Amino acid sequence: MRPESPNPNTIVWFQDRFVRLAEANVNILTHGLHYGTGVFEGIRGYYEPQQQDLFLVRALEHYERWKKNCGILRINVPISAVNLVDLTAELCRRNNFRSNVYVRPIAYKSSARIGVHTDENDAYALIALPFGQYFEKKKGLKAGVVSWRRVEDNAIPCRAKICGAYVNSVLAGDEARRNGHDEAIFLTESGHVSEGATCNVFMVRNGKLITPPATDNILEGLTRASVMELARRELNLEVIERSIDRSELYVCDELFFTGTAVEIAPIVQVDHRPVGSGEIGSVTESLRSLYFEATRAHMPGYRNWLWPVYSSAVVERTA
């Protein structure tokens, strides 16, 4: 995907105030820029025309995770997760977004100096932008196992979206695309399947839905958790978290990625071999449909996942 350049007049939250994106700049010596000392999140919002509302998906959980992960780098975000969601909803309203959006919170070490040692100077910002499909292909993706290994938890924890760790993903994604694939698949140092460059991996084999465990250096994804819940509750599938061997990717029935940005992305080829029949599988298609319905407020049982942007403002004004 080649996203369009964001509108410089988009309103963002920066240095504790609403400003234009064009005004939200940092010093070239900022610690987070030089040493990767930042933590980010990604939150999807889906606009439902019939209800004329924009629904932020699992926003509270995203912010709770973000604040915990910031603690790994001793970055303090001095605002509660609930208030961060309220602030995000206000950000969307100020931009009058009537389309799907992607929200990028980022916190970082903000001292402007040379030196790897950190201090207590922290900053954070919230950015929301119109956002469509991450992968343009609708007939399935081609994935490839790359030579780069997933960074180990004892080096840089993958369960936290630490900015510097994503050099690992950049290298993997570049190798995958140069080898004719759409996305990379990492192995751990022990040779087990970990995840994609920016997404979790699921495999369907012998009627079971299987995904690598947190101990295989994955991000504990909220979309991953959502898919597991949908699979159990709606499809009555057995969901297993266990290590996956590389060769299992070649003999499984279905394979797909999940993530906030990628949503549910079917994989029809891995390492130039067809996955199953080489077409999008029935389990993948069912889960993709269920996820679409749940995140657009079409399924009452999953409304607790959603934070309405425009109707919540009405509630606040009339309360």
Neighbouring residues of 193: CB distance < 8 A, sequence distance ≥ 6: 185, 186, 187, 201, 212, 216, 243, 244, 245, 246, 248, 249
pTM of the model: 0.93
183-237 residue pLDDT tens: 999 999 999 999 999 999 999 999 999 999 999 999 999 999 999 999 999 999 9
The reply to whether 23 falls in a domain is: yes
Per-residue pLDDT averaged across 108-136, rounded? 93
Total domains present in the chain: 2
Q: What residues make up the domain containing 265?
A: 141-280
117 CB-contact burial (10 Å; exposed 0-12 / middle 13-18 / buried 19+)? exposed
Q: Count of residues for the chain?
A: 319
Q: What tokens were used for 13?
A: 């939250």
Q: Please list the alpha-helical segments (H only) found in 43-118.
A: 59-72, 81-95
* pLDDT band at residue 319 under the 50/70/90 scheme: very low
Q: Do 22 and 120 have their domain in common?
A: yes
In a domain, 299, yes or no: no
Catalytic positions, written as ranges = 161
Convert the pLDDT of each residue in 233-257 to its tens digit: 999 999 999 999 999 999 999 999 9
Looking at the structure, tell me whether residues 198 and 67 fall in a common domain.
Answer: no
Distances (CA, A) of 169 to 40, 157, 161, 179, 196: 14, 13, 11, 15, 8
308 within some domain: no
Residue 269 φ/ψ, nearest 5 degrees = -150, 135
Q: Is 234 contained in some domain?
A: yes
Q: What is the CATH number of the domain that holds 261?
A: 3.20.10.10
| The two three-digit tokens of residue 167, written as one number | 């050099």
- With tokens 């605002």, the residue in question is 79
Q: What is the pLDDT of residues 56-100, one digit of tens each?
A: 999 999 999 999 999 999 999 999 999 999 999 999 999 999 999
